[in-house]
């Protein structure tokens, strides 16, 4: 900042010339690539967490069904119930 004789401040504006843009381009590209890789990593972690949750739900359901089936059937009983009216 520059101080004028009247006591006011004047801000200096930075002007990007073509050489400045050319010098900043690799930094901008590198920063963009890092952000893209970070977002891709977050997506892969999220996808694996969702996959583990779905697998846990499926395994839990299968275990619950098999426990219910084994608890109902006495040893040597048929796996399926007879079709028709009960008692006939």
**Would you kindly state where each structural domain of the chain is located, as residue ranges?**
2-72
pLDDT at 5 over 70: no
28-56 pLDDT per residue, tens: 999 999 999 999 999 999 999 999 999 99
Q: Model pTM? A: 0.52
- In sequence order, what are the beta bridge partners of 2? 10
Determine which of 11-25, 34-48, 52-66, 71-85 has the lowest per-residue pLDDT on average: 71-85
Percent of the chain with pLDDT over 70: 70
Element (H, E) at 10: strand 9-10
Q: For residues 67 and 73, what is the distance between their CA atoms, to the nearest angstrom?
A: 10
Reply yes or no on whether the pLDDT at 70 is more than 80. Answer: no
- The predicted pLDDT at position 57 comes to 95
């Amino acid at each position: 900042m520059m101080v004028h004789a009247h006591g006011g401040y004047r801000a200096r504006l930075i002007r990007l010339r073509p050489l400045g843009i050319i010098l900043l381009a690799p930094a901008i590209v590198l920063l963009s690539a890092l952000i893209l890789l970070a977002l891709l990593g977050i997506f892969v972690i999220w996808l694996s967490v969702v996959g583990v949750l779905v697998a846990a739900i499926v395994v839990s359901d299968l275990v619950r069904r098999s426990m219910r089936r084994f608890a109902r059937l006495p040893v040597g009983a048929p796996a399926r119930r007879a079709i028709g009216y009960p008692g006939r």
